[in-house]
Amino acid sequence: MLAYQIPSATARAVLRDIAKPEPGPGQIRVEIRACGLNFADLLMQKGTYQDTPPAPFTLGLEIAGIVDAVGPGVVHFGPGDRVAVYSGQGGLAEFGVFDADRAVMLPSSCSFEEAAAIQIAYGTSHIALDHRARLQPGETLLVTGAAGGVGLTAVEIGRLMGATVIAQARGADKLTVAKVAGADHLIDADEDLRQRVLDLGGADVVYDAIGGDVFKAAFRATNPEGRLLPIGFAGGEVPQIPANHLMVKNLTVIGVYIGGYLKFRPEIVRNSFETLFRWHAEGRIKPHVSHVLPLSKVADGMDLLRARKSTGKVVITP
C-alpha cells in the first residue's frame, strides 16, 4: 500500500510503498477514504511538534474510512463499519491500523471528507470554548486567524453557543468566509486589532491561532475577567505572557491541547466528537473544505497550509 512517510529523522517526507499493517489486540484496520491535513503535520516534518513520533512514521492525524479488519478483543466495530478516527499519525495512507478506542461510528449523513475535516478543527474549538473557557451566551468572542482550519470552526461554534463573534483574518475573501460561518464583526489583519476590538466593547474570550503580535494586541483588548486561549502559533512566535498584567485585569490564560486528553481523559474527546457528529446530522455545523486532493498530491496540500492559501480544511483522499 502507499503511505506518505518520514523515513528517518533527517529525511524529507516521501510517498512510499509499504506492507499493509495487521491489527493487534484492541485495534481496527481501516481502509482510509479521507485524511484531514493540519498545521501539526508541517511541524512533524520539521520535528518540532510536541508529539512527533520516532521515524519512520506515516503522517496524517485524522481520518475517516471503512473498517477492513479487527483485532482480538474488539467488540464495538466490525468490517464494513464507517468510522472516524483521531489517529495522531498514520492517516496519509491507503490503510491504517488504529486503537479502537480512538474511533467513533460515522453517521450516514456525514461524508468521509466532512468527517476528516471535523475532528481536530471542530474538536479543538468545541473543547476550548465549552469545556475549558466556559463561553457563555451574550459574551464577546474574538477569533484570530478566523478563516483557517481551527479559526473558522471557532467562529461557527461560538455563534452556536450564543456569543457575539469578532473575526480577524487577512483579506476580503477570507473575511467573507468567516462572515458566512457566523461572524458578527470583521477585522482585517492590516487593521489595528486592539483598537477595533476595544471599539466593539472588548473581548471576553480570545481564541488565538496566530501568536506573536496578534496575541499581544488581543491580550490588550481583553475585558476584565476575560479568558485567553492560545490555540496555535501560525505567525511563528510563541507569545510571552506578562503575569503582572494578568493580575491587574484578573485575566486567565488557558492551555488547550486536544491530543493531551487522549492520554488522561479520552472521554472528553470522544464525547466532543459524538456531540459534533450529532450537530452535523442536525445541520447545525457544516465543515468548510477548500481543497480535496489525491494522495499523490499530498505535498501540494502541505504547501497550501504552509503558504496559508487554503480556507477551512485541506483533505486528502487516498
Among residues 244, 193, 184, which one has the least CA distance to residue 222?
193
At residue 128 the predicted structure's pLDDT band, cuts being 50, 70 and 90, is: very high
Cell representation of residue 235 = 505567525
- 13-39 pLDDT, tens per residue? 999 999 999 999 999 999 999 999 998
Q: Find where cell 479520552 sits.
A: 266
Asked if residue 258 lies in contact with residue 269, where contact means CB atoms within 8 angstroms, the answer is yes
**For residue 124, what are the contacts with CB-CB under 8 A and spacing of at least 6?**
150, 153, 231, 256, 258
Buried b (16+ CB within 10 A) or exposed e, 251-283: bebeebebbebbeeeeebbbebbeebbebbeee
- 180-227 pLDDT, tens per residue? 999 999 999 999 999 999 999 999 999 999 999 999 999 999 999 999
CA 125 – CA 316 distance, rounded (Å): 22
Query: Alpha helices of 83-150 — where are they, by DSSP H?
Result: 112-126
Please determine whether the domains at 2-119+262-317 and 134-253 fall in the same fold group of CATH: no
Q: Sketch the domain layout of the chain as residue ranges.
A: 2-119+262-317, 134-253
CA 207 – CA 219 distance, rounded (Å): 11
Among residues 261, 241, 237, 240, which one has the least CA distance to residue 252?
241
Q: Find where cell 491561532 sits.
A: 209
Per-residue model confidence (pLDDT) at position 215: 96
Write the DSSP assignment of 177-202 as a string of letters. HHHHHT-SEEEETTS-HHHHHHHTT-
**CATH number belonging to the domain at 134-253, selected among 3.40.50.720, 1.10.3720.10, 1.25.40.80, 3.40.120.10:** 3.40.50.720
Per-residue model confidence (pLDDT) at position 37: 96
Residue 152 has pLDDT above 90, yes or no: yes
The number of helix segments (H) and strand segments (E) in the chain equals 10, 16
Per-residue model confidence (pLDDT) at position 234: 79
Asked if residue 185 lies in contact with residue 165, where contact means CB atoms within 8 angstroms, the answer is yes
Residue 298 has pLDDT above 80, yes or no: yes
Per-residue model confidence (pLDDT) at position 312: 83
Length reported for the chain: 318
Residue 56 preceded by cis peptide, ω within 30: yes
Q: Find where cell 483588548 sits.
A: 221
The CATH number of the structural domain formed by 2-119+262-317 is 3.90.180.10
Cell representation of residue 207 = 481564541
Give the three-class secondary structure for 218.
helix
CA 310 – CA 136 distance, rounded (Å): 30
Residue 236 has pLDDT above 80, yes or no: no
Q: What is the mean pLDDT of residues 61-78?
A: 97
Asked if residue 227 lies in contact with residue 254, where contact means CB atoms within 8 angstroms, the answer is yes
Report the DSSP beta bridge partners of residue 203.
222
Among residues 193, 226, 224, 197, which one has the least CA distance to residue 210?
193
Instruction: Quote the pTM value.
Output: 0.88
Q: What is the mean pLDDT of residues 101-109?
A: 91
Q: Find where cell 528517518 sits.
A: 8
Asked if residue 288 lies in contact with residue 152, where contact means CB atoms within 8 angstroms, the answer is yes
Q: What is the mean pLDDT of residues 121-133?
A: 97
